[in-house]
Amino acid sequence: MRNYYRVMLGRKSVHAAECFAGNFIGADFGINQDLSSKLPDEWREFNKEFIPIFLEGHPDKNKIGAGLACGALWTVAKGIKIGDIVLCPDGTGSYHIGEVISDYLYAPGQVLPHRRTVKWMNQSIERNNMSESLKNSTGSIGTVSNITGHHDEIEKLMGGFTPPTVISTDETVEDPAAFVMEKHLEDFLVQNWVQTELGKEYDIYEEEGECVGQQYQTDTGPLDILAISKDKRRLLVVELKKGRASDVVVGQILRYMGYVQEELAEKEQSVKGVIIALEDDQRIRRALAVVPTIDFYRYQINFKLVKA
């Protein structure tokens, strides 16, 4: 199955017109060298080599920002595959749709020199026609974001097929319907973070004023939310249960916390975790009883009808 990505063509889509006319997407990040022989299959290997290079040229950045930049560069140059679909905003509320048709190309001295050739379609998607969840996904986290989870809606907006019934072939997902619902919960939590109990002590991680802490990429997949304490001394990994078995989500958040501790945290920073779910059970209580660095929160949904 092909994947779908939202790709920004420069800050505030400043290079969008040139990219549309020149049939390409691209990235920069101040890495001024041909990456043709520097693109391993695993982005973590790329980050290990290029994070120090990025930090040398950007001494004002930290490891989290450097990881985001290098990860985005690898995704544009290597992670996006031929045949994948990209949605690129033009700055006016429309998203141009294109199919990636080439491997990595280097265009030294030009804007967004780390490029992929794209066949742009004769159609676009209006932001106003997107669901709230798709709007949030296309409007977040930096240069590139994987929006494959919304492929049914995207295909429908492109004039494709009608979304099928929710099913899941993932044995770790106990409730496919809950998986879908709790994706919307993630977006709601991000939008209303400052009103939550966690928002009193932590801020969702931002980079240059942009929220980049939602779906932060790690080497075992994207974690739901990465936050930082207001005194900058603690990093917080937040995971929603998303219909998964209790013991699975505990293992998942521990892997994310290990990544954050090893790859992102500064020497003086500690790492904590929070699991949020509709309800707990004996398995999750047993697992968390021996992991004092992970807290558990239940969420409540209030729904009522008001006669007009």
pLDDT digits (tens, 9 = 90+) for 83-92: 999 999 999 9
Identity of residue 38: K
Confidence of residue 161 (pLDDT cuts 50, 70, 90): very low
Q: Which residues contact 272 (CB under 8 A, 6 or more apart)?
A: 234, 235, 236, 237, 257, 293, 294, 295
The mean of the pLDDT values for the chain is 85
Q: Which two tokens stand for residue 16?
A: 């969008």
- The answer to whether the pTM exceeds 0.95 is no
Could you list the residue range(s) of the whole structural domain that residue 185 is in? 176-298
Are 116 and 41 found together in one domain? yes
Question: Among residues of the chain, what percentage have pLDDT more than 70?
Answer: 87
For residues 281 and 246, what is the distance between their CA atoms, to the nearest angstrom? 8
What backbone phi and psi angles, to 5 degrees, belong to 279?
A: -155, 155
Tell me whether residue 149 is exposed, middle or buried, using C-beta atoms within 10 angstroms of its C-beta: 0 to 12, 13 to 18, 19 or more: middle
Are 227 and 256 found together in one domain? yes
Q: What is the CATH number of the domain that holds 257?
A: 3.40.1350.10
308 domain residue, yes or no: no
Summarised one tens digit per residue, pLDDT across range 77-121 is 999 999 999 999 999 999 999 999 999 999 999 999 999 999 999
Instruction: Count the neighbouring beta carbons within 10 Å of the beta carbon of residue 211.
Output: 19
For residues 99 and 117, what is the distance between their CA atoms, to the nearest angstrom? 9
For residues 261 and 128, what is the distance between their CA atoms, to the nearest angstrom? 39
Are 28 and 146 found together in one domain? yes
Summarised one tens digit per residue, pLDDT across range 123-155 is 899 998 998 778 877 876 678 888 888 888 999
Are 9 and 126 found together in one domain? yes
Q: Which residues contact 169 (CB under 8 A, 6 or more apart)?
A: none
Are 232 and 260 found together in one domain? yes
Count of domains forming the chain: 2
Identity of residue 126: E
Are 257 and 194 found together in one domain? yes
Among 157, 188, 212, the domain boundary falls at 157
164 domain residue, yes or no: no
166 domain residue, yes or no: no
Summarised one tens digit per residue, pLDDT across range 178-216 is 445 555 677 778 888 998 899 999 999 887 677 778 888
Q: First CA to last CA across the chain, in angstroms?
A: 45
Bridge partners (DSSP) listed for residue 5: 86, 146
Q: Which two tokens stand for residue 51?
A: 């994070």
125 domain residue, yes or no: yes
